[in-house]
Every structure is written in C-alpha cells, then in structure tokens.
Structure 1
Amino acid sequence: MTAPTATTAASPAGRRWWAQTRIELLLTLRRGESILLTFAIPVVLLAFFSLVDVLPTGTDDPVDFLFPGVLALAVMSTALVSVAIATGFERQMGVLKRLGSTPLSRGQLLGAKTAAVVVIEALQIVVLVVEGTLLGFRFSGPSIGAALLAAVLATIAFAGLGLLMAGTLPALTTLAAANGVYLLLLLLGGMVIPLSKLPSGLRAFSQALPSGALAEVFHGALGSGSIPGHAWVVLAVWAVIAPVAAARFFRWE
C-alpha cells in the first residue's frame, strides 16, 4: 500500500475551503441591500468630493487625491464592516454553531470568508477605476503590482479584524463596534483627509493603522510614485496579527 501524497492528504481540506468560499460568495451576493451600500458609498463619495472641492486634499484636482483614498476606503468597508456584521449575526442565529459540527475548521471558514471578500473587492475596483477615469484621474505614477499587493495584505488584515470582532462579541456589539472602527479609520486613515493635515502625534498613530498604511501605498503606487517603506511593514504586521488573533479567539457560538 502506498502512502498518500501531501497533495492527496491536503485535498479534502482544500475542497471544504473551496465549497465554503462558493457558499460565502453566494450568500454575500444575495444580500442585495448590503451589496448596494458597499458599492454605492465609495462611488458617491468619490463623485461628490471630486466635484465639490471642500476637502483639504492639497492637489489642484481633488480626484487626484481622492481616487486612491476611496479605493482604500472600499477595501476597508468590504473587508471589515461587511464581514464583521454579517458574520456576527450568523453567529447569533446559530448558523456558525451548525458549521462547527462539520469537518470545516475555523481557519477554513475564515479563509473562505476572506476569499469571498476578494471577489467583491475586485468588482468594486473595476467600478471605481471606470468612475475615476471619467472624473479625470490620470495614473501618473502607476505601480499596479504594488497596489494589488497592498490590497491583498489590507484585505487579510481588515477581514481578520472584522472576524475577530464577530467571533468574540455579541452581534449588536459587533454592529456598533464595526461602524465605530470604520468611522475612526475613515477620519484618521488618510483616505479623505491627507495625513499631512493631521497633528504630528495623531499622524504617527494613523500611520501605524492598516488604513493609513494602505492609503499611503495607494497614493504612492497610483499617483506620486513614492511609497514609504514603513507602510509595507505596517500592512505586513497587521496581515499576520489580525487573522492569527481571529483564528485563535473565534468562537462558533
């Protein structure tokens, strides 16, 4: 009798992850109101603040600053808020308890939810790229590879934070916490207000957040061409710590 190969041994876990990913994506797409808000809010913010020059963007054309920032906002809102709220209520209603009785592991569930988020984000980015181009954004210093890598790292980090909240807090507390954290990161993340406009102490705090690091990479990769090295370190650290904490403390019920 021959011993099973590593690929064969790993395939059941891979099949479970893939099946759960498809289910998560289907469930996400069925939440029509949530999807509408997920797509509509970044689109409306980009259009409004690009056409109405009221923010201290520090650029001749507001869209030059806002487009990378709103892309970062879209990643954050989808990976953090949507995942946290949906998962929190699934846990409250006993859906996750039933999943916990199956061979699906916590890591596979969290990975499936994160993978489904990536698909939604890809659609968001397409929509925002079209809108940004119509509003006059020009890719003056594009580094698409760097932007995509940053988006992946930030998605893992934000999804980890959202799942950590959903897996440890009551559903209504998760709802309030996710929206509160979203508002905090929106204001301090360099997405709609440049980090350079913040007081020095607050700026240093913001640069240590995944939102601030993502905005810095997006601004550099899609605009200025200069990406600060500390932004990559911050994103990498959050992309490791957040999902590990979520997997460690996540409870099925």
Structure 2
Amino acid sequence: MSTPNGTPSGGPTTGAAPAPTSQRWLAQARFETATILGHGEQLLVALVLPALALVALALTQVPDLGPGRRIDLATAGVFALAVVSTAFTGQAIATGFDRRHGVLRFLGASPLGREGLLAGKLAAVGIVIAVQLVVLGGIAAALGWRPDASGVAPALVTIALGAAAFLALGLLLAGTVRAEGVLALANLAWVLLLGLGVLLPTDRLPDALGGLARLLPSGALGDGLRSALVEGHWPLAQSLVLVVWAVVAGAAAARWFHWSD
C-alpha cells in the first residue's frame, strides 16, 4: 500500500543526514566546555583553588619562591596549576567516569566518532584554560602583577605545550585505570605536583629532587612559565621536556586507551 506521494506506507523512511563534521565537533566542544564550567567539583579545581593559592602565595612569605617579585613568581606558578587542574585532573576524572558509564563507547560509535570526541575535549580544555588565564590574571593584576611584555608569547607557547602534555597524560590514565582508581590517582598527582615544580620552583627543592622535578612535565611547565613571565626568556629546555611528554604520553594513550571497561 502506498501513500499519495508514492512512498510505501509502513516502509522505512530515510533519516536525516548527519551534520557536517566541523559542526559536530563544535557542538561537542561547547558541550564539554559547559560541562566543565557547570560542574561544581571541576570548577572548584579549575578556578577556586588556583585563585585561593594565588592570594595565599601573594600575601604571605612562605614557601620561598626564589629571587624576583613574589606576585610575579606566584602568578606564573598558579597559571601552571590551572593548566594541570584542567588538562590533567579534570579531564582524567571526567573521561574515566564517562568510560565506566559507557558514554565513550556510545559517542565513539556515533556520527561524532572518536576523532570528534577527542577534538571536542581538546577544544574545551583550550577554552577553559583561556577563561582561567583571564580570571586569574585579573586577580593577579589587582594584587600588583605586571608581566614582562616580552614574556607573553613564550608563556602562551609553554601553556599550549603543557596543556597538550597533561591532557595526553590524563587520557592515558583515564583509559587504562578504572574510574575509582582514576579519581584517587588524579587527585593525588594534583597534590604532589604542587611541590614538584608547579607552585614551588625546582631550584628551591633539594638537588636530587629538583633534578627529577625538572624532567617532569610539572617542573617543565612551572619553571618555563616563570622563565617567560618573570625573566622574559624563551624556555627552550622546558619546552623540549613538554614536547617529549606530550609525544610519549599521546602515543601510549593511542596504544592502550580502552573505550569501555
């Protein structure tokens, strides 16, 4: 039996074509960004705790941050903390629980695809870090921060490399460990990295520990931002460390990431 326009009445109908790739990726980026900014725990780690750390470091004299204006050193360290919070801790926990609940498997098989899901996460991390820099930079400026203009470009490059390295590490953790383990390890790493180059410069650490911290992405990111924003230098050695971590962790995530438990 046919309808008046000749289409069989009970037969299958043709579904709408998927949206263009760029549109799907942008929609996922908006969703991921809104999820981060609208989630209380992620907002606490991404903005509230870094802001509190900035104020505490700026208004006290402990710990020793080394030579230079304290507000400048504190701001560089807190920018590094913001990158770690969003690119590593927040993404590791969110992705780990998405994996446990089957969200990753579902989205990976949808028209969005795995590439679109990863692109959305990468874009969301970039957007949220930009928001963090504006908010935390405004607080720092109110406390007297005046960055060296020549250091802005190298600082932005260092932040981008740090975000790539820590996002790769976060995805590696989220894709290889069960969600509860991800939650514990990501939070533990966040606490430990504070003293391994993020807020505390590596040259303030004991020699052996400082040498180790300089090879970690935390030390490279923190020291690199201090070199850029306080001294106006291009942190080439620290950038190389971050590139190595991004490549190695990214390759490991691509090899061992599991899209479902």
When normalised by structure 2's length, the TM-score is 0.86
CA separation in 2, counterparts of 1:106 and 1:61? 45
Matches within 5 A, 1:1-253: 12-59=20-67, 61-140=69-148, 142-189=150-197, 191-253=198-260
Q: Do the aligned residues in 1 keep the contact of 2:100 with 2:179 (CA within 8 Å)?
A: yes
SS in 2 for 1:143: helix
AA aligned to 1:19 is A
Unaligned runs of 5+ in 1: 1-10
Which deviates more, 92-101 or 115-124? 92-101
CA separation in 1, counterparts of 2:36 and 2:177? 21
Write the deviation string for residues 192-219 of structure 1: whole angstroms up to 9, x where unpaired: 2221121222222111111111112211
Write the deviation string for residues 28-73 of structure 1: whole angstroms up to 9, x where unpaired: 2331342134211010001012101121112464212111011111
Q: Are residues 30 and 225 of structure 1, via their aligned partners in 2, closer, same or farther at CA, if it must alter by over 3 Å?
A: closer
Q: Do the aligned residues in 2 keep the contact of 1:214 with 1:231 (CA within 8 Å)?
A: yes
SS in 1 for 2:138: helix
Q: Are residues 37 and 214 of structure 1, via their aligned partners in 2, closer, same or farther at CA, if it must alter by over 3 Å?
A: closer
Structure whose CA Rg is larger: 2
Q: Match for residue 5 of structure 1? A: none
CA separation in 2, counterparts of 1:246 and 1:111? 15
Unaligned runs of 5+ in 2: 1-18
- The ranges of structure 1 where at least 4 consecutive aligned residues each deviate by more than 6 angstroms after the TM superposition are none
State the Cα RMSD in Å.
1.9
Q: Match for residue 11 of structure 2? A: none
Write the deviation string for residues 158-197 of structure 1: whole angstroms up to 9, x where unpaired: 11111111111110000011112222221112x3222112
CA separation in 2, counterparts of 1:247 and 1:51? 43
AA aligned to 2:105 is K
C-alpha deviation, 1:138, in angstroms: 1.9
CA separation in 2, counterparts of 1:36 and 1:223? 27
AA aligned to 1:56 is D
C-alpha deviation, 1:16, in angstroms: 3.6
Q: Do the aligned residues in 1 keep the contact of 2:161 with 2:239 (CA within 8 Å)?
A: no
C-alpha deviation, 1:92, in angstroms: 1.1
Q: Do the aligned residues in 1 keep the contact of 2:87 with 2:167 (CA within 8 Å)?
A: yes
Q: Do the aligned residues in 2 keep the contact of 1:69 with 1:192 (CA within 8 Å)?
A: yes
AA aligned to 2:95 is T
